[in-house]
Amino acid sequence: MPPNPTIEDPTVTDGIRARDPEVLQSVVRQHLPVLLRAALRSGLPADRAEDAVQETMLTFVRRAEEFDGRARVRTWLFGILIKKISRGFEGTRRAGAEEDIDQVVESRFTADGRWARPPRGPDAGADRERVRAWLAECLEDLPDRRRLAFLLRDVEEMPTDEVCAVLEVTPNNLGVLLFRARNGLRECLEGKGLTGSHDADL
């Protein structure tokens, strides 16, 4: 039986708990780029994204002895980062209107959770950079929890169980967040004119 991917290597866990400088530095070097990328994609301004990642790493070092290895260190770090990001957005965004999930599923998705009519790619006149800019704008307009669920699951391609652990939601709740995020992105991108004949290569 393969090792449980949600459990950290005991050697790494022991090193973190013992505050081994080499282990801590290795963790920081390995995870800093992906944490910063996620913070920037969350919609925070660059300076606040960098602050959130720095605070995440400081919290990680301060609380190193609390890490028990029952989850991957990546999951633990993202859990800290999400809280920092959420604080960064606190009070700065209006709560979006909540659409009925049953209507979303019936009108936009097939039984297996895929878009019934996926957004199509740009017309010949729209280049890839413009599409990327549109996608960034559409992501920024999503409510925070939906945007983070989409970034972790669909962009960072983290396993469902890890995303659930990071966001502290059940798989069903994650599914709802992803349905709503994908639907919101679809409508936003269509509103920007993505009506070509092929799926967008983003």
How many independent structural domains does the chain possess?
2
The arithmetic mean of pLDDT across residues 20-27, rounded, is 94
Q: Are residues 79 and 31 in the same domain?
A: yes
Judge whether 156 lies within some domain: yes
- Quick one: 120 and 171 in the same domain? yes
For residue 82, what are its two tokens?
Answer: 């999400």
What is residue 56's three-state secondary structure?
A: helix
What is the residue range of 124's domain? Answer: 101-191
- Looking at residue 116, what is its pLDDT? 61
| φ, ψ at 77 (rounded to 5°) | -65, -45
Assess whether 105 and 187 both reside in one domain.
yes
Rounded CA separation 165/162 (Å):
5
At 118, the pLDDT band (50, 70, 90 cuts) reads low
5 in a structural domain: no
**Which residue, 89, 121, 143, sits at the end of a domain?**
89
Using one digit for the tens of pLDDT, what is the confidence trace for 144-201?
889 899 989 988 889 999 999 999 999 999 999 999 999 988 888 888 777 544 443 4
Residues 118 and 183 in one domain: yes
